[in-house]
């Protein structure tokens, strides 16, 4: 079955997308809950700002789908959880895929499922678990026409930057993105690289598969806007940002400012004015 009908609900008419990630609570890290302590309020705030999609876990997806009306963001469903995001790695590492993930996504009227492709230093077993999850999801996604979003994560050593900071090494990112393509990604949520002006190489590696760039750790407003504009100019199909939106003092305005960059080619000054409310 074709994934195109759902993929077209995820992407805008221009083929671009801003997906706001609010699925951080599933990873069991206290620091990930800042800004989303009250999930109902967090989801309603983001929905009112009207991004293309909201990324949620199975247990919180109803907060989006119970909102009445046709004009609301699409649901991207997180299908896995892991314990690799702390400052120090635990004795036992895992990546766990929820049972019947695609069927659950269908029940929730999701437009895509997202799964990690984890590459941590010296952790080949975790890397293998990720590939096994993708291999399990792909044929079921094809059977039901559910787009598969693969999230290749090239991570720094945990003791250097915690477990959520991107490595930024272009060669590593390109290699993992290429593997995601080979494994059957319909859409890719990829790391940014250290030099955004080289991101066209990642886009080329994706071989026509839309690439949405993830936000990573919290940075300044100026850096968020400038980086987003640079990545879009390099050919990215959009962004998947979480903490740089949900931990902002005005997540609604940040969403609107980023939507203007993604869909309207707004410059940084225009986006910053939206963020200020002017």
**pLDDT mean across residues, the chain:** 94
Question: CA 247, CA 207: separation in Å to the nearest integer?
Answer: 34
Write b or e for each residue in 85-116: b if 16 or more Cβ atoms lie within 10 A of its Cβ, otherwise e: bbeebeeeeebebbeebbebbbeeebbbbbbb
pLDDT tens digits, 4-34? 999 999 999 999 999 999 999 999 888 888 8
**Which DSSP letter does residue 191 get?**
P
pLDDT tens digits, 79-113? 999 999 888 889 999 999 999 999 999 999 999 99
Question: CA 153, CA 120: separation in Å to the nearest integer?
Answer: 8
Write b or e for each residue in 123-137: b if 16 or more Cβ atoms lie within 10 A of its Cβ, otherwise e: beebbebbeebbeeb
Task: Determine what percent of the chain is predicted with pLDDT higher than 70.
Answer: 97
Question: CA 59, CA 20: separation in Å to the nearest integer?
Answer: 17
pLDDT tens digits, 42-60? 999 999 999 999 999 999 9
pLDDT at position 157: 76
Q: Which of 254, 247, 261 is nearest to 276 (CA)?
A: 254
**Structure tokens belonging to residue 52:** 């293309």
Task: Determine what percent of the chain is predicted with pLDDT higher than 90.
Answer: 86
pLDDT at position 162: 58
Confidence of residue 163 (pLDDT cuts 50, 70, 90): low
Q: Which of 92, 98, 78, 74 is nearest to 6 (CA)?
A: 74
Q: What is the mean pLDDT of residues 192-209?
A: 96
pLDDT at position 165: 67
Return the residue matching tokens 């909201």.
54
Q: Which domains does the chain have, with CATH numbers?
A: 4-276 (3.20.20.70)
pLDDT at position 257: 98
pLDDT at position 164: 61
């Amino acid at each position: 079955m074709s994934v195109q009908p759902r993929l077209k609900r995820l992407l805008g008419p221009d083929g671009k997308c801003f997906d706001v990630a609010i699925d951080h609570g599933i990873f069991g890290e206290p620091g990930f809950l800042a800004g989303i302590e009250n999930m109902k309020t967090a989801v309603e705030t983001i929905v009112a700002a009207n991004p293309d999609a909201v990324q949620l876990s199975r247990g919180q997806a109803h907060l989006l789908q119970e909102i009445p009306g046709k004009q609301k963001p699409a649901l991207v469903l997180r299908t896995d959880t892991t314990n690799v995001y702390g400052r120090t790695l635990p004795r036992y590492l895992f990546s766990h895929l929820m049972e019947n993930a695609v069927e659950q996504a269908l029940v929730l009227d999701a437009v895509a499922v997202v799964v990690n492709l984890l590459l941590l230093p010296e952790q080949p077993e975790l890397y293998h678990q990720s590939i096994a999850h993708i291999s399990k999801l792909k044929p079921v996604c094809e059977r039901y026409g559910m787009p598969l979003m693969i999230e290749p994560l090239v991570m720094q050593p945990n003791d250097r930057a915690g477990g959520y900071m991107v490595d930024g090494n272009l060669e590593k990112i390109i290699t993992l993105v290429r593997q995601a393509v080979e494994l059957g990604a319909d859409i890719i949520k990829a790391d940014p690289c250290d030099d955004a002006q080289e991101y066209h190489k990642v886009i080329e590696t994706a071989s026509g598969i839309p690439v949405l760039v993830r936000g990573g750790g919290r940075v300044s407003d100026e850096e968020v806007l400038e980086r987003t504009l640079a990545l879009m100019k390099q050919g990215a199909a959009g962004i998947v940002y979480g903490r740089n939106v949900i931990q902002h003092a005005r997540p609604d305005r940040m969403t609107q400012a980023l939507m203007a960059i993604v869909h309207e080619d707004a410059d940084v000054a225009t986006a910053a004015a939206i963020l200020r409310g002017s």
